[in-house]
């Protein structure tokens, strides 16, 4: 999701989306560790999305 899309949301919605992204990141990390998933780039993309959302949350 782009930063512009995050800025159109209110604080509560951004906060709930961050929680969902963190949960998704943790599940994806476990999948990579256990060998179920081999796509390491998804972890990087999720971390970037979380950072982007947290930055926008601070701006709001």
Segment among 1-5, 22-26, 45-49, 56-60 with least mean pLDDT: 1-5
14 neighbors 60 (Cβ within 8 angstroms) = yes
Q: Residue 33's domain spans which residues?
A: 3-59
Q: Mutual orientation of helices 11-34 and 41-59 as an angle, nearest 10°?
A: 160
- 18 SS3 class: helix
Residue 4 has pLDDT above 90, yes or no: no
Write the Ramachandran bin of 30: left for phi over 0, alpha for psi from -120 to 50, otherwise beta.
Answer: alpha
* Count of structural domains within the chain: 1
Instruction: Enter the pTM of the model.
Output: 0.82
């Amino acid at each position: 999701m782009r930063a512009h899309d995050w800025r159109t949301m209110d604080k509560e919605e951004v906060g709930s989306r961050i929680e969902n992204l963190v949960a998704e990141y943790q599940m994806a990390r476990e999948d990579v560790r256990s060998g179920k998933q081999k796509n390491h780039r998804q972890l990087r993309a999720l971390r970037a999305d979380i950072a982007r959302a947290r930055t926008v949350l601070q701006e709001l």
